[in-house]
Amino acid sequence: GLTKKSTQSTTSSTQSYSNDAAKFKEKAVRQISISDITLLENIQAVKKIFNCHLHYTVVKDRDVATERDYYSSLAYTVRDHLVGRWIRTQQRDFETNEKRVYYLSMEYFMGRTLRNCMINLRIENDVDQAFYELGLHIEELEELEMDAALGNGDLDRLAACFLDSMAILGLSSYGYGLRYDYEIFTQKIDDGYQKEYPDDWIKYGNPWEISR
Q: What local confidence, expressed as pLDDT, does residue 115 receive?
A: 95
Greater pLDDT, 6 or 195: 195
Q: 92, 157, 81, 145: which is closest to 117 by C-alpha?
A: 81
Q: What local confidence, expressed as pLDDT, does residue 199 receive?
A: 81
Instruction: State the average pLDDT over residues 164-182.
Output: 90
How far apart are alpha carbons 159 and 8 in whole angstroms? 66
Q: What local confidence, expressed as pLDDT, does residue 14 receive?
A: 65
Q: What local confidence, expressed as pLDDT, does residue 5 receive?
A: 55
Instruction: State the average pLDDT over residues 194-200.
Output: 85
What is the architecture, at CATH level 2, of domain 19-199?
3-Layer(aba) Sandwich (3.40)
How far apart are alpha carbons 6 and 167 in whole angstroms? 61
Whether the pLDDT of residue 202 is over 60: the answer is yes
Q: What local confidence, expressed as pLDDT, does residue 188 receive?
A: 85
Whether the pLDDT of residue 8 is over 90: the answer is no
Whether the pLDDT of residue 128 is over 70: the answer is yes
206, burial (CB in 10 Å: exposed 0-12, middle 13-18, buried 19+): middle
Whether the pLDDT of residue 172 is over 60: the answer is yes
| All structural domains of the chain with their residue ranges | 19-199
Cβ(128)–Cβ(86) below 8 Å: no
